[in-house]
Structure 1
Amino acid sequence: MYTFTNIKTKLPKILIKILHSLQEIGAKPILVGGCIRDYFLDINSKDYDIEIFNIDKLEKIQSVLSKYGNVKLVGKSFGVLTLSVDNFEFDFALAREEKKVSSGHKGFEVVTSKNMSFEQASLRRDFTINSIGYDYFEDKILDPHNGLNDLKNGILRYVNKNTFEEDALRVYRAVQFCSRFNLKIEEKTFTLCQRIVDTQEFQELPKERVFEEFKKLFLKSTKPSIGFELLRKIDILKYFPEIKNLIGCIQDKQYHPEGDVWIHTLMCIDELARILDKSDITDEYRKLYLFYSILCHDLGKPFCTQEIKGRITSHKHESLGVEPTKQFLSKITNEKKFIEKIIPLVKNHLAPFQLYLANSSLKAVKRLSLKVNIEDLCYVCLADCLGRDIKDKEKCPKAIDWLLTKAKELNIQNSALKPLVQGKDLINLGFKPSKEFKEILDFAMDLQIDENLTKDEILVTINNKYK
């Protein structure tokens, strides 16, 4: 698994052509970072980082790359060029050092030098497993910080203490790398991360950067719970009290023998990862809001959990979870549409089992479709049911299959029931647009669902009632 004898055969042919073109102008290209790490982990990569030595003119590199496609300049001060070709993403960067000169992720002074050694340039890398390089022309692995050894032993270790603490985001990167690759964080690296968490710069990290690290944690981990346990251990959760409040929140042992709400939630996100891996969902946006929905589904429990006659209850926790969900999500994203996808899934996550146990009619299923995407809800509900240590887990897919079957009969598994009567129909009846429109349209929907009337029958009833 950790051999590089076939690495040349694994590289994209277009990349090999580009490497030869760069060599022809006197450049020394070295493959670095994630693509090399992933090779040794036997993970297919579509993204390649290439560091350029022996040259200090960005324009020379750009002229070579432009022959292969559209080249974008990420930032001249950073000396990074990107090229997308044949479904691959290539980043080309001049060998450089980065020195912290002011606060924030942009507060770096970049110094490039064509005479810089690979070891010197690698000091700016975050972790040893990301500091490994590959010289294509010499067919040689460059590993000045023993990253291969750490990779073999499953250890995450910083490259350089001084450069590591200059970017507070690296704490979140540590979390998602440990989660994705099942790594153990080295003791000194762990201690340094704890110290960084208490800094002002960590607290002021831009939302979008934090969101991207959570995204990788969720979408690229087999067991996202590893990352969330590390968030707890490093004490990052003190900035997300909505999540931290789950720790120690007791549950009824009959339904949750696994322990508190925190343990249950970790089990749920791992179950969802397993479920989505077997599903046909390819949309990352959809996967991500499903993950956040299951993460937040029980945020209401700390506000209502109590013991009554020896039994633990969390009455109305699903509706009480709406506000803490909004509060938590607002700390990591400003995208309102994304949050709006999650809220109804949290608020209705008990509905599939409630309808199943009551053997509810199609009317109830129709009304549920007006509140939430039923198929999405079924994914969340299934993960919630399986994410516990109960013995009768076979009931979980039964309930979900029951609801999905009924929703598919009505073709409303992924969309709300379409109203037969709309505003334009009321106008055609002679009604003038007013505040009363909503009341009339709600009445029309009630007739459609409860009485199963046709459109014409509904319009006649409306005419008789409101005229």
Structure 2
Amino acid sequence: GARAVLVGGAVRDAVMNLPVKDYDIEVYGIADFEALAHLLEPFGRVNTVGKSFGVLKLCIGGEVYDFALPRTERKTGTGHRGFEVTVDGSLDFATAARRRDFTVNALGFDIQSGEIIDPFGGMDDMGKKILRHIDDATFAEDPLRVYRAVQFAARFDMQVAGETAMLCRRMVAAGALDELPRERVYEEWKKLLLKAHRPSKGFDLMREWGITKKYFPELHALSCVPQNPKWHPEGDVWVHTMLSIDAMRKLIEDESVLDGERVSFPEKKQLKLMFAVLCHDLGKPLATTIEYDNGEVIRWEAYQPTIVSRETKTGMPYSVRALGHEEAGLEPTRNLMYRLTDEHDFIESILPLIAHHLKPSQFYKQGAKASALRRLAVKVNIEELVLVAKADFLGRTTPEAKTGRYAAGEWLLEKAKALKVWNKPMNHLVQGRDLIALGMKPSPKFGEILDDVYEKQLDGEIASKKDAIAYIREEFQHNN
């Protein structure tokens, strides 16, 4: 006598011909959780850990299915736990679905009849690629839904309905997002960066709705910052950054397919590369100068930009430079990232990619020597650096970028692979135990000796352990 309805993202993704990962089932016509648990027990292990939120989990082998009775929610406090959940097996589907965020997420699939239940026009919105909220009051009860709108619009390439965009703007302006813990915000950012083919669409919405200005000023500061049109005809730093993160997303997707087969590309590595590109020019608002032909130099004011025009009081043509923006961008990157997560090691792993993102092009132009490449490998993973630099290069509208080929990156990677330092620094040929084997007594001098030998390795003057031992005997034993 019960009615099982598949709900939420599973129905949306199936209709959109996307892979379905999580199955959520609402069961109508069941009196209480005990009756539902009794019904499910013959099929697998029933976990009641989510009972207070109205959910039971059915575990069958390695698969987990969420079963719930229809429910309503009422806001009683701040945060995602500040809701009073009322479970009622007699509710109709439309009443239970009204608590959901968007019409495309309020679809149901009646498992027995094969019917799609669509009380709010979600199928029509999906066909028109429109993201529309269901109810003003219930939507505003959970401010995380503003970020969900951002990442859904980008992931599914949807246009946000006018009334939904207006509500999101009002919520941001009213400070509704202040209550969100960074962990929940970070999860939505990760979905945007990892699942959207064009993450720029989500960041453009964040800028339009006031999110970047209010919560991520380091990112918002990129807007209107001018660039040299010779190298950046696409526009200001914001435009360039958006093109670059889309380029990185495509590079990652291309890298994830080898000879037609999908290969593993770790999520953490993807995130590191995406954040590195997102933050690679955060130093430009701090380092950019406008240099006029009459010798006048004006620094761009970080976070308080005024649009610079050739129609100035001097009437003089000008050039734009951003010398040192790589180093200048490290502190803004830390500030932005710590507002999202406290993963210190992860944040620190991003910084070298930002500090050295110009090196591939610079080294290629200079014809850098092997020693310079070996030293670069000590500071940063060259393989990852080339990907970041390539995304930076492709995030432009120059004729060279439009070819899709980044010659500097190809050159650097080829040279680094020949030197065996493309994804790790050169190994130390000798260690402390080797010095002890030579009869030397451990002392602070050990560090100086090992550093000296390693410097000679990087310069190519010592190429084998035998050479290293001979050098140590001559320099540090014979002379002493």
TM-score > 0.5 by shorter chain = yes
Residues 56, 112 of structure 1: 8 Å contact kept: no
Letter in 1 for 2:449: I
Contact 1:385 1:396 survives alignment (8 Å): no
Spell out, residue by residue over 1:204-256, the C-alpha distance to the aligned partner (whole angstroms, 9 max, x if none).
31111111101111111111111010000111002101101100111000000
Give the corresponding residue for 1:303.
Answer: 286
Q: Which amino acid aligns with 2:433?
A: K
2:80 to 105, 109, 117: 105
The structure 2 residue matched to 1:265, chosen from 219, 223, 241, is 241
User: Does 221-230 or 56-65 show the bigger shift?
Assistant: 56-65
Residue 218 (structure 2) pairs with residue 242 (structure 1): yes
Which segment is superposed worse, 147-156 or 430-439?
430-439
When residues 406 and 137 of structure 1 are mapped into structure 2, their CA distance, relative to the original with a 3 A threshold, is same
Other-structure match for 2:427? 418
**Any conservation in 1 of the 2:288–2:321 contact (CA below 8 Å)?**
yes
The verdict on how the C-alpha distance between 1:62 and 1:432 changes in structure 2, with shifts beyond 3 A counting, is: farther
Amino acid at match of 1:290: L
Distance 1:411 1:66 in 2: 57
CA positional deviation for 1:316? 1.0
**CA–CA separation in structure 1 for the residues paired with 2:70 and 2:452:** 68
Unaligned runs of 5+ in 1: 1-25
Report if aligned partners of 1:46, 1:89 keep a CA contact under 8 Å in 2: no
Alignment of 1:124-273 (within 5 A): 124-238=99-213, 239-273=215-249
Q: What secondary structure does 1:327 align onto?
A: helix
Of 289, 295, 302, 2:272 maps to: 289
Q: Residue 106 of structure 1: CA displacement?
A: 0.7
Deviation, 1:159, is: 1.0
Counterpart secondary structure, 2:409: helix
- 1:46-65 equivalences under 5 Å are 46-65=21-40
Residue 333 and residue 31 in structure 1: after superposition, are their counterparts in 2 closer, same or farther (change >3 A)? same
How many angstroms apart in 2 are the aligned matches of 1:445 and 1:114?
71
For each residue in 1:348-394, what CA deviation from the matched residue of structure 2 results, as whole angstroms up to 9, or x when unmatched? 11111111111222222211111111111111111100110000224
Structure 2 CA distance for partners of 1:297 and 1:396, relative to 1, 3 Å: farther
Query: What's the % identity of the aligned pairs?
Result: 44
Deviation, 1:414, is 2.1
> What corresponds to 2:462 in structure 1?
452
Cα distance, 1:182–1:333 mapped onto 2, change above 3 Å: same
Q: How far does the alpha carbon of each residue in 1:275-304 deviate from its partner, in whole angstroms, 9 at most, with x for none? A: 111112521111111100100000111111
TM-score (normalised: structure 1)? 0.90
Residue 333 (1) aligns with residue 380 (2): no
Say if 2:323 is the partner of 1:315: yes
Equivalent of residue 411 in structure 2, options 402, 405, 420: 402
Distance change (3 Å), C-alpha of 1:421 and 1:37 = same
1:7 maps to which residue? none
CA distance in 2, matches of 1:291, 1:228: 13
Report the counterpart of residue 10 of structure 1 in structure 2: none
Find the residue that maps to 1:277 and give its secondary structure.
helix
Q: Is the 8 A contact 1:297 1:349 kept in 2?
A: yes
Counterpart Cα distance in 2 of 1:439 and 1:62: 68
Q: Give the one of 3, 6, 11 matched to 1:36.
A: 11
- What pairs up with 1:71-90 in 2 under 5 angstroms? 71-83=46-58, 88-90=63-65
Structure 1 pair 55–348 and aligned structure 2 pair: CA distance change class (3 A): same
- Deviation at 1:115? 0.5
Residue identity opposite 1:412 in structure 2: V
Distance 2:324 2:41 in 1: 60
Q: What secondary structure sits across from 2:25 in the alignment?
A: strand
**Aligned 8 A contact 1:46 1:88 in 2:** no
TM-score by length of 2: 0.87
Q: 1:51 to 1:406 in 2, by over 3 A?
A: same
